[in-house]
Chain A
């Protein structure tokens, strides 16, 4: 179940290596499938067919995706409140509503956001959307290649490395297999970051959720956009390395600093995903 993640990101490849993952609309893509879960229409037939297969195993995946976005909003709002004004959003996906730069700029219009995704369609679309937005950019790249990302001219340009940065890995690391050594490369992102930098992770988890395991299995079959590796809370905690884990630690996503008790809906304790935030002290 924990096999290696296919780099090309798609099966049934006709062998043309010059076609990057995600460009072929006849093949589902992680970003577009996720958009479909969120009720968007930035997707093609292949994405919808695949999403339906997953939803058949786990009908409430739709609300799971919603909760994940809600977490993203809470985490980013929290960071803004801490005065963080540089955001590196890894695996940012297809823009929809409540995008990171929107949440950030509502608080601090001068703050910087750089999105990273390896899906060219997501990147092209984001480029289009951000054309007239100051202080927000997108680059195409594989988040596992830390040097390529942090060394990207745009990232070097935009970020002041002497000041704190927030690195967001929201709902993306379950697309990274263990072979890629996630704990290592995640740690690298903050290795030479300033003190006061933050790492945010949300992650799919099938702890206590057999239906989530079945959904994961669908991702690991043929015609999948990407293999999936869900992780337990303990495993995710390890991804934070020696950073200082902030309260309430790694918890089920809806329980991570809800805006109000009203926002915690029934079933939160068994929500199939965990999240946490840590700070570099």
Chain B
């Protein structure tokens, strides 16, 4: 989805105006705008990026502080401007926007805190040093010293080189919960904590030895009441004027809150704000961890609500959100206690991570329970809502090695479940997946194939059964791929229909076929062969189709009366409105319309009567049912022939002529002839072939009729749609 693209330059322009004067930064308006354009570009890119990376926005927050946007108003206005520019990008991006604002604010806050602490520390150290210089190190014992840092926000202690603490300020006492008297004279080593590393204390020793002047660490302390205090600790060595080490000064900042906040932020970063479920990021973490265990067999149920959009559209987003919350909670309550991780992937998609999916039946049961859970009606604001879900299941052994691959497979499987009619569970099937992938690849190559003229036509003679004369041909499209592989239309025409390429391909086929017919006729004169071309439903629905046909005829100089378009029965029957008009317009042009594959669908002759149709092409089963090789079940040969006979009779009554396809034996040929079928087409008569091979057959009785048919080869009628 996603809406309008966000323009970083416009964002930067408004941003500049918004923050100008809020803080002291050393830039004029133009430079500031340039600076913010850089930041805006990063923000927008990360907002639009497929994978969310919080470090970008956090980095922008940090860079604001680096430019000295130290006043909170700068951040506040920044967040407002960012929201203004990014929010319209689409409602589906609200959680991304929230995450972006959160990361930006967190980065800003963190950097500001660091800057504040660093500056506090520097100025304090400067004050110490200035005093040491001024008073020859007598300062530490002065009563006034106690007052000096009394008001400092950071805790400060001074220790002798032997580790004995000689001074602490109030802030530090408050942090630790001790009185100054309780700390004074104790050695710093008493404040060791289990989380300290040996490295920390080694550095302190080096400092006392004078080899290190400065050290910084995150350190935990026990407060007097036993609770934990987390601090950002900076220790500096103070030297006397001769440069000899004299004191250790510790500056301590209480960051316990921040620790909690970080834990909370971490939770936020890994959980979905709407439902409180683990989010995509956490899910992937867990899945990856599960996959790392080489003996583990994790599996995934990928669940998508059916018809959730309808709920949103008709009852509103609030109801939709409430529904999601309820379903999320129910899924969690149902499945989490068994140790499965239920996460929300976004939108109305959820996922269940089953750590042990070695038993497929178990996986199915989990999925069924999830389906049951979702089906339970939900009451929201007086509406009783019932939704269902579709689930795709993939286990590690099928889905490939990585988490991303596994999820792609799960996604495919979910798609199958949806496609197979919703409210069901589909299991991953490697072969089906492979076919899907192959189809996808093939369809992606179609446009290029058309451009490179990899398609070509073969022609199969249409033979007048009464005298054996080839009066026309059906054009059949083939694809010779770069690899040399030859593909029949059943492999690529459906793909071309799906992708819409059929329109361009169909246009090419029409022109090529009519052009060929024209060349044959120019060479031999005589009666014009009928050129019969297959047309897909999708083509007929194109508003320009009639124009396309007319153009092909004009360009090739082929008369409409010698062109026949073949549409399948179902395409014609289900076509309404526009396509029917199209058929009428084509018939008005003089083009013949044939119903292809007749007998496979509705076979509604009475309805056909109302359509501008000239020809019926009988589907294979009608013909193959004839004779000893007949495979038509119940009615047997006699039954089939009776049906065939009546269809032919009826067609003739309606003024339609009849072509039988798949004529493969002399017997079938004989029977059809005697039943009064007008035209035959099939291997027995002549196989499809290139124009040069077909040319000598046209306009005369087939020599083949005097020989026996060639067995094997292309059995099924090759159709172009």
A residues lining the B interface (CB < 8 Å): 14, 18-20, 22-26, 32, 38-46, 62-63, 65-66, 69-70, 73-74, 94, 96-98, 102-103, 120-125, 128, 259-260, 262-263, 265
> Do B126 and A97 touch (CB < 8 A)?
no
Q: Let me know if B122 and A128 touch, CB within 8 A.
A: yes
Q: Please give, as numbers and ranges, the residues of chain A lying within 8 Å of B20 by CB-CB distance.
A: 265
Contacts of A23 in B (CB 8 A): 127, 130-131, 134
Binary CB contact string for chain B from 681 to 694 against chain A (1 if under 8 A, 0 otherwise): 00000000000000
Q: Is B556 an interface residue (CB 8 A)?
A: no
Number of interface residues of B (CB under 8 A): 39
CB distance from A120 to the nearest CB of B (A): 4
Contact: A125 with B29, CB < 8 Å? no
Task: Given A39-B71, A262-B30, check contact A120 B24 (CB 8 Å).
Answer: no
Given contacts A23-B130, A26-B148, A120-B130, contact A97 B119 (CB under 8 A): no
- A208 to B44: give the CA distance in the assembly, Å: 46
- Give B111 Cβ to nearest chain A Cβ, in Å: 12
Known: A23-B130, A45-B151. A39 touches B23 (CB 8 A): yes
Known contacts A18-B134, A44-B151; decide if A128 and B126 are in contact (CB<8 Å).
Answer: yes
A46 touching B151 by the CB < 8 A rule? yes
Pairs of residues from A and B, 8 with the lowest C-beta to C-beta distance, nearest first = A98-B26, A45-B151, A39-B70, A41-B119, A120-B130, A124-B126, A125-B126, A42-B123
Chain B proximity of A258: nearest CB distance (Å): 8
Contacts of B23 in A (CB 8 A): 39, 66
B residues within 8 A CB of A125? 122-123, 126
Which partner residue on chain A sits nearest B149 by CB separation?
Answer: A25
Task: Pick the contact of B130: A14, A42, A63, A121 (CB < 8 A).
Answer: A121
Q: Which of chain A's residues have a CB closer than 8 A to the CB of B144? A: 14, 24, 26
Given known contacts A24-B148, A260-B30, A262-B29, A120 and B133 CB-to-CB distance under 8 angstroms = yes
Chain A residues, Cβ within 8 Å of B70:
39-41
Determine whether B203 belongs to the interface, using a CB cutoff of 8 Å to chain A.
no
B511 to chain A, nearest CB (A): 62
The one of B24, B120, B125, B152 that contacts A97, using a Cβ cutoff of 8 Å:
B24
Interface centre among A38, A42, A69 (most CB of B within 10 A): A42
Q: 6 A-B contacts, Cβ less than 8 Å apart? A: A39-B24, A39-B68, A46-B151, A62-B71, A259-B30, A265-B21
Question: When the two chains form their complex, are residues B30 and A42 in contact, meaning their CB atoms are under 8 A apart?
Answer: no
Bound CA span A62–B21, Å: 9
Q: Of B21, B26, B68, B134, which is within 8 A of A20 by CB?
A: B134
**Assembly CA distance A97 to B30 (angstroms):** 18
With A25-B148, A45-B152 as given contacts, are A121 and B123 in contact (CB-CB < 8 Å)? yes
Contact A25 B29 (CB under 8 A): no
Nearest to A99 among chain B residues (CB) is B26
Known: A39-B23, A41-B116. A94 touches B134 (CB 8 A): no
Nearest-Cβ distance from residue B688 to partner chain A, whole angstroms: 76
Are A121 and B151 in contact, with the CB atoms below 8 A? no
Minimal Cβ-Cβ distance residue in B for A42: B123
Q: A198 to B27, alpha carbons, bound, how many Å?
A: 23
In the complex formed, the residue of A with least CB distance to B33 is: A262
Residue B28 CB within 8 A of the other chain: yes
Within 8 A of A (CB), among B110-132: 115-117, 119-120, 122-127, 129-131
B150: A residues at CB distance < 8 A:
26
Q: Which residue of A lies closest to B138 (CB)?
A: A18
Note all chain A residues with C-beta closer than 8 A to B125.
Answer: 128
Beta-carbon contact of A42 and B119 below 8 Å: yes
Please indicate which of the listed interface residues B116, B117, B123 has the most CB atoms of chain A within 10 Å of its own CB: B123
Extra contacts besides A62-B71, A66-B21, A97-B67 (6): CB < 8 Å? A23-B127, A25-B127, A25-B149, A41-B117, A41-B123, A42-B123
The smallest beta-carbon distance between B134 and chain A, in angstroms, is: 6
Inter-chain contacts of A97 with B (CB < 8 A) = 24-26, 67-68
B192: CB under 8 A from chain A? Answer: no
How far is B147's CA from A14's CA once the two chains are assembled, in angstroms? 13
Q: Does B135 contact A (CB under 8 A)?
A: yes
The distance in angstroms between the C-alpha atoms of A28 and B115, with both chains bound, is 21
Interface positions, chain B 663-682, Cβ under 8 Å from A, are none
Instruction: Provide the bound-state CA to CA distance between A69 and B68, in Å.
Output: 13
Are the CB atoms of B123 and A19 closer together than 8 Å? no
Residues of B within 8 A of A45 (CB): 151-153
Chain B 557-573 near chain A by CB (<8 Å), digits 1 or 0: 00000000000000000
Residues of A within 8 A of B29 (CB): 259-260, 262-263
State A193–B475 Cα separation when bound (angstroms): 100
Question: Which A residues are in CB contact (< 8 Å) with B117?
Answer: 41
Considering the chains assembled together, what is the distance between the CA atoms of A44 and B27 in angstroms? 27
CB nearest neighbor in B for A32 = B123
Taken together as a complex, chains A and B put the C-alpha atoms of A125 and B133 apart, in Å, by: 13
Q: Which residue of A lies closest to B27 (CB)?
A: A98
> Which of B26, B116, B119 is most buried by chain A, counting CB atoms within 10 A of its CB?
B26
Considering the complex, give the chain B residue whose CB is closest to the CB of A40: B119
Q: Give the distance in Å from the alpha carbon of A189 to the alpha carbon of B570 in the complex.
A: 102
CB distance from B393 to the nearest CB of A (A): 57
On whether the beta carbons of A260 and B148 are closer than 8 Å, the reply is no
List the B side residues contacting A26 at CB < 8 Å: 144, 147-148, 150-151
Contact partner, A70, options B28, B124, B129, Cβ 8 Å: B28
- Residues of the A chain whose Cβ atoms lie less than 8 Å from the Cβ of B28: 70, 73-74, 259-260, 263
Flag if A63 contacts B129 (CB, 8 Å). no
Cβ of A96 and Cβ of B123 under 8 Å apart?
Answer: no
The answer on a CB contact under 8 Å between B115 and A41 is: yes
Contact B123 A43 (CB under 8 A): yes
Chain A residues with CB below 8 A from B26, complex form:
69-70, 73, 97-98, 102-103
Chain A min CB distance to B122 (Å):
6
| Assembly CA distance A270 to B124 (angstroms) | 37
Report how far A26 CA is from B150 CA in the complex, Å: 9
Alpha-carbon separation in the docked complex, A144 to B504 (Å) = 89
Known: A25-B149, A39-B68, A262-B29. A66 touches B24 (CB 8 A): yes
| CB neighbours of B25 from chain A (8 A) | 97-98
Q: Which residues of B contact A14 (CB under 8 A)?
A: 144
Q: From B67, B68, B125, B127, name the one whose CB has the most chain A CB atoms within 10 angstroms.
A: B127
- Least CB distance from B478 to A in Å reads 68
On whether A94 and B123 interact (CB within 8 A), knowing A259-B28, A260-B28, the answer reads yes
Complex interface bits, B16-40 against A, C-beta within 8 A gives 1, otherwise 0: 0000110111111110000000000
The residue among A44, A65, A70, A73 with the most chain B CB atoms within 10 A of its own CB is: A44
- B120 contacts A41, C-beta separation under 8 Å: yes
* Chain B stretch 607-635: residues in CB contact (< 8 A) with chain A: none
Closest beta carbon of chain A to B21's beta carbon, Å: 5
Q: Nearest Cβ distance between residue B140 and chain A, in whole angstroms?
A: 14
User: How many angstroms between the C-alpha atoms of A69 and B28 in the bound complex?
Assistant: 11
List chain B residues, Cβ under 8 A from A42: 119-120, 122-123
Question: Using an 8 Å CB-CB cutoff, how does the interface string of B144-162 with A read, 1 for contact, 0 for none?
Answer: 1001111111000000000
Chain B, residue nearest A94 (CB): B123
Quote the shortest CB–CB distance from B136 to chain A (angstroms): 9
A74 to B: closest C-beta gap in Å: 8
Which residues on B sit within 8 Å (CB–CB) of A262?
29-30
